[in-house]
Amino acid sequence: MVIASSNLIKKLIGLGVFQASVFILYITFGKITEGSPPIITDNVDVYSNPLPHVLILTAIVVGVATTSVGLALIVRIKEAYGSTDEDDIHDMDDKDDFNIKNNRSIN
């Protein structure tokens, strides 16, 4: 989605899906078959590792923050260019660069 789509909202959603899949991958590393929660009790020798879960909680908070910043940037881009399509934005920038370059060379 990030590569195939030129819509900025779809790109952000694609990054969110990718991020969630990485979270699930890391959480599975912390689970040990027949492991108990990391609470010390009698007759338990195998514990699941809590560290990946703690790290993923932090990553979720950072992910929500970066997604909200990305959405705020997309809102500003929409206000400035009137579009959220990456190709349209590049075309408008290219036209602006061409006009600026030609006006400077005339003066």
Output the pLDDT for position 1: 83
Record the tokens describing residue 88, joined without a space. Answer: 């349209």
Share of the chain above pLDDT 70, in %: 94
Amino acid letter, residue 76:
R
Q: How many CB atoms lie under 10 A from the CB of residue 59?
A: 15
pLDDT in tens, 47-102: 888 888 889 999 999 999 999 999 999 999 999 999 999 989 888 888 877 677 77
Cα 35 from Cα 55, distance rounded (Å): 19
What is the average per-residue pLDDT within 30-58? Answer: 83
Per-residue CA distances from 95 to 12, 77, 83, 86, 100 (Å): 26, 17, 15, 14, 9
